[in-house]
Amino acid sequence: MKKYYLSFLSLCVIVFLISCGSSMGKYSDVRALMQDSITAQENLIKDIDAASNAGDIAKAINSYADAIEGLQPKIKQLQAKYPELNNANAQMPKELLDLEQKQAEISQKLTTSMMEKMPKYATDKEVMKASMRLAKISQM
């Protein structure tokens, strides 16, 4: 009985490891990075929508800049690892299409949130400073 139990347990472990390995896919690390980026953008949208003054907008932009700055090393690493994804005209691998679609939806929501709040606060000194910081980080 003990022999069958150990065999069954070993089989379960093997099946688990195989299923995990196959579900992760070639671009699992890119998926994780994309999800982190989406989360950062969702937080920015939430913070901008909740903002009631220029200080809140600047804080939201700076928080987003902090998140993007934290992702920069991983972005550079993955750009080197997957040069095929660096071409703007390249087709997105099918295992990333769902996140690409989600990214597009989030970008549209972000644009809407920014259009609603930024005209009122865009000329504020702290908002301009935060926006410049974000632009500089985004260019890296």
Residue among 105, 130, 125 nearest 48 (CA): 130
**Encoded tokens for 105:** 């939806």
**Encoded tokens for 128:** 């301009």
Q: Is residue 93 within 8 Å of 26, Cβ to Cβ?
A: yes
pLDDT for 136 equals 95
- In eight-state DSSP terms, residue 26 is T
pLDDT for 24 equals 61
Query: What's the rounded Cα separation, in Å, for the pair 39 and 99?
Result: 11
Residue among 84, 103, 102 nearest 93 (CA): 84
State mean pLDDT over 58-77.
Answer: 97
State mean pLDDT over 80-108.
Answer: 91
Q: Supply the pTM of this predicted model.
A: 0.79
Mean pLDDT of the chain: 85
Query: What's the rounded Cα separation, in Å, for the pair 82 and 26?
Result: 10
How far is residue 32 from each of residues 10, 24, 37, 71, 81, measured CA to CA in Å? 30, 10, 9, 11, 15
pLDDT in tens, 16-44: 333 344 346 899 999 999 999 999 999 99
Query: What's the rounded Cα separation, in Å, for the pair 113 and 49?
Result: 6
Residue among 52, 101, 109 nearest 92 (CA): 101
Percentage of residues in the chain with pLDDT exceeding 90? 74
Residue among 35, 33, 38 nearest 108 (CA): 38
